[in-house]
Structure formats: structure tokens, C-alpha cells
Amino acid sequence: MDYLITKYGRGKFLNYVKSLMRDNDHARVFIDVYSLDYKTFLIEFRSRVSNNS
């Protein structure tokens, strides 16, 4: 969660959480809020974490 907030901002993260309360389709909500699919995000996140090790 920290990475999402740091990279995309607190506002988007709050929008994401609020959207999940209205729509439990995680994949759709993630794409709607962050404009990328969750798999792509995980690849990006893992790359970032491995580069910081």
C-alpha cells in the first residue's frame, strides 16, 4: 500500500478503497483508478523492490 500511495498519491489510493466498497471487482476497480491492470502493477512493483535490494 505504501508503494501505491507514494507512486500515485493518497487521493488515488483513497479513491481505490472507496471504489472497492461500491464494486467488489478488484480488477475493474484497479484499472479504473490506476489506469493499469494489477498484473502489470505487480511486475512494476517487484522490479522496483528487487532493484532496491
Q: Which residues contact 34 (CB under 8 A, 6 or more apart)?
A: 4, 8, 12, 16, 41
What CA–CA distance (Å, rounded) separates 45 from 39?
Answer: 10
Given a cut of 80, whether residue 10 has pLDDT beyond it is: yes
* Residue 7 CB coordination number (10 Å): 14
Q: Where are the domains of the chain?
A: 2-51
Grid coordinates representing 11 are 487521493
**Each residue's pLDDT tens digit, 27-52:** 999 999 999 999 999 999 999 889 87
pLDDT for residue 53: 64
CA distances from 32 to 8, 26, 29, 44 (A): 13, 10, 5, 18
